Amino acid sequence: MSELGEFLRQRRGRIRPSDVGLPELGRRRRVPGLRREEVAQLAGVSVDYYVRLEQGRGGGVSAEVLDAVARVLRLDGTERGHLHALAHPPRGASRRPPRQVRPGLRLVLDALATPAFALGRCMDVPAWNAPADAVIGFSELPPGERNMARHAFLTEAGGRLYRDFERVAAETVAHLRLDAARHPDDPDLAALLAELTAGSPLFAELWARHGVREKASGHKLLCHPRAGELDFGYETLAPPGEPGLLLVVYTVEPGSVTAERLAVLTAAVPSGPGPALGR
């Protein structure tokens, strides 16, 4: 089944008939959620048309039809955008994100007193500041492992770092799934996904769920090997003029236990952002 078809199947499987005003009674349902014909009826398209859409044969489908299907399946804004990207994949190679962080952004990282790092398209980490190094240990990783997805799924240290590892794992996969639809011809991303699928059964299981999520804000609950439990918020910023690059900034409540432990951690770490990541 196509990526588009699998995404639609997964999403209609989570909608109960009663959620959209249909009776639960009737002939026995072989699969959970809505049937294809029910989605078609509610979206105002023919059953044959919707079936072809799930089979990846809906070339030229209009934005109006996609929005109608999104409404029936109760997709949020991120999922709706993902649906459009799957139905109308971008043509041609998209611009690659920078492999090095420009000096001005390095100064921004260095000026921050909380952990912050740059995040590339494949979740590579091209630069970081001293607090981020103290918390995550980027400088101790081989260059090829300075990647948040590899660190989480393919290293023991990554698995131990997060107290809420299952949530972090799901969010990581959902971010990569969103990125893969936006850049379907990126060979580096394809290689990373193959590596993660082969190396982590958990990644493969989460990937099959077709979850998507923007990396915007949230919480990181860590268990640092020296500092113990650390509770951070995080905010993700997109620098203008740097497509494919994000700045992830951890936030901490002033006067909190985490702030005190972070101060101890960073006291012995040299200041300055980490080096650029070359591939």
The average pLDDT across 216-236 equals 94
For position 28, what pLDDT does the model report? Answer: 65
The average pLDDT across 5-15 equals 90
For position 272, what pLDDT does the model report? Answer: 47
For position 57, what pLDDT does the model report? Answer: 73
Beta-strand pair 228-237/246-251: antiparallel
More confident residue, 249 or 27: 249
pTM of the model: 0.84
CA angle 78, 81, 83 (to 5 degrees): 110
Beta-strand pair 217-224/116-119: unpaired
Instruction: Say how many C-beta atoms besides its own lie within 10 A of residue 165's C-beta.
Output: 17
For position 95, what pLDDT does the model report? Answer: 59
Please tell me the total number of residues recorded for the chain in this structure: 279
Average pLDDT, the chain: 88
